[in-house]
Structure 1
Amino acid sequence: MKNSFLGTFRRSQLRECQLKQLSILKEVDRICRKYNLIYWLDGGTLLGAIRHKGFIPWDDDLDIAMPSDDFEKFKKIVQKELPESLFFQTKETDPSTPHHFAKIRDLNSFFVEYGDDFTKPYQKGIYIDIFCFVDYPPFPKKILSFLSRNISKSISILEKKRSFDELKSVCEVPYFILKYILLYPIWYFCNLFKGGKYQSFQVRDNALGVVHRKEVIYPLVKGFFEEIEFPIPFDSDTYLKDQYKDYMVLPSEEKRQIHAIYIHANLNK
């Protein structure tokens, strides 16, 4: 039976969740300006900035991206710059986290997603995602998209907790092991060639096979998000089409769903 009380409570928490995410973004922006580091709004956050001038009304996450060199510098300074209420979460700072990309978590909140493991003590507060962007090799875009999409999916499937009492679970493991074994050496070989004109997520994070031309990203410009200017890609239209195709078309009503299972935006309340 669907729990309508839980759904109502979750919706009541959404705007406060978004405002907490915005406050985290402001901290990141402050740090990046202080140390002259590059970052930009990415994914649904960039889509929200262009289509809604702020959060997508039903969205409960916030995404930014950083080039790998800047991300490595950011990792070394971020925790000492953040207030005590915020935590920079990676495999190094929070070993039991299942996430392999970085997050900044608000410690005075609780945010539950599908797949969260309550047998492990990793931080589960409201967060923003930080994706590290790397150079892609100088090969046709369709090849890069095919390889990154399928390698990412293979890794995701193989890392997923599963029960082997279903035929699908029994069959998909050897299938995706074989796919990974076949495709990753090709990806490794391609990356021996430097100087590509493309940049995107690290391959394990690139589930959609998104590949951006560098001139679409740089030089960064300013765009409004929740009435505040933040860095966005130079050609946001092409950037968003790379990821979402016809991004200005709103999804159907049934697809406008909050992703979280439970949100408690302020543990003091």
Structure 2
Amino acid sequence: MHEVDINELKELQISILDVVDAFCRSHKIKYWLDSGTLLGAVRHQGYIPWDDDIDIGMLRKDYDKFLAIFNNENNRYKVISNEISSNCYYPYAKVLDTNTILYEPDENGIKLSINIDIFVYDNAPNNKEKCIEMYNRRDLYNFLNLGQFGILNPNIWYKKIAKQILRCFVLLFPKGYFSSKIVKNSKKYKHLETVSVGNFTSITRMTCNKRVFDSFILVEFEGKKYPAPVGYDEWLTQFYGDYMQLPPVEKRVSHHSFKAYMK
């Protein structure tokens, strides 16, 4: 094995994205560059200079179809999610390059492969208070999920004690239990007609009108073209506000910690 540097990491991520892109086009599954990846495409025509991952998004119907059939046609690249494997920590999907190994945040953490994230966007209730309730419930389950997998890292003595108490509680439940609760919460309005969608499986609390996804255009990312929602300006504004404004220099850092290797 050899350790993967940042440039090789990005090349491998783009290779995963290309496989997903070809698969989605072949099976008429709609997806788009999402969050920081979409922002990078619009503002930098590629990765945000201090970013090191790729995110894509799907609406629930396309996401469910992708989960159901992707692994049937791929050997090297595999999708994982709690809906496929009930003991999975992640309530959203990741497409893995199984020829690689990735540890988050290091060899003592979760063992995966180099991957890209697929975030699912579900119907958001038209009532603002009910939407807030869904996000609050998601955040609680996410906190318990982090505790169950030992990812909370308090650095104050009384928080360390609280972590141990929490750990004893969450270990009463099977692995992936709180991740599955996040997924169930996200689907609450799946069969109802709503105006907006939201991401109830990750960490954002944004919602956006469905008209953003009336159609898709192609945007440049690292010299290639990938889909973006026609309403990407409204979408990015919901995420970041004035998204063309660069953040302060001290915030131009990666939020991820990992070690990656080629097998």
Which category describes the TM-score, using the shorter chain as reference length? 0.7 to 0.9
Paired position in structure 2 for 1:40: 32
Distance 1:198 1:117 in 2: 40
Q: How far, CA to CA, are the matches of 2:250 and 2:107 in structure 1?
A: 24
Q: Write the mapping of 1:1-269 to structure 2, written as runs, cut at 5 A.
A: 13-82=5-74, 84-91=75-82, 93=84, 96-114=87-105, 118=109, 124-140=112-128, 143=129, 146-159=132-145, 160=147, 161=150, 166-168=157-159, 170=162, 191=189, 194-201=192-199, 203-205=200-202, 207-267=203-263
- Describe the superposition over 1:178-200 as per-residue Cα deviations: whole angstroms up to 9, x where unpaired: xxxxxx9xx89x84993211012
**Aligned residue type for 1:213:** N
| Alignment deviations for residues 24-82 of structure 1 (CA, whole Å, 9 cap, x no partner) | 11111111111111111111110111111011122111111111111121112201222
Alpha carbons 2:125, 2:131 under 8 Å: kept: no
**TM-score after normalising by structure 1:** 0.76
User: Structure 1: where are the runs of 5+ without partners?
Assistant: 1-8, 174-183
Once residues 163 and 31 of structure 1 are traced to their aligned partners in structure 2, the CA distance between those partners, rounded to angstroms, is: 38
Segment of structure 1 superposing worse, 41-50 or 91-100: 91-100
SS in 2 for 1:60: coil
Between the aligned partners of 1:252 and 1:35, the Cα distance in structure 2 is: 42
Q: Which residue does 1:6 correspond to in 2?
A: none
Q: Which protein has the bigger strand share?
A: 2
Runs of 4+ in 1 over 6 A off after TM superposition: none
Report deviation, 1:145.
5.2
Gaps of 5+ in 2: 167-181
C-alpha separation between the residues in 2 aligned to 1:115 and 1:47?
A: 28
How many residue pairs were aligned? 238
Aligned partners of 1:144 and 1:209 also within 8 Å: no
Q: Distance in 1 between matches of 2:58 and 2:106?
A: 26
Partner Cα distance (1:133, 1:222) in 2: 20
For 1:71 and 1:152, the matched residues in 2 are separated by 19
Identity of aligned residues (%): 29
Change in CA separation of 1:154 and 1:115 when aligned onto 2, cut-off 3 Å: farther
TM-score, normalising length: structure 2: 0.77
Distance 1:69 1:92, change over 3 A: closer
Distance 1:80 1:216 in 2: 31
C-alpha deviation, 1:261, in angstroms: 2.9
For the residues of structure 1 that align with 2:84 and 2:193, how far apart are their CA atoms? 32
Amino acid aligned to 1:199 = V
- How well do the aligned residues superpose, as a CA RMSD in angstroms? 3.3
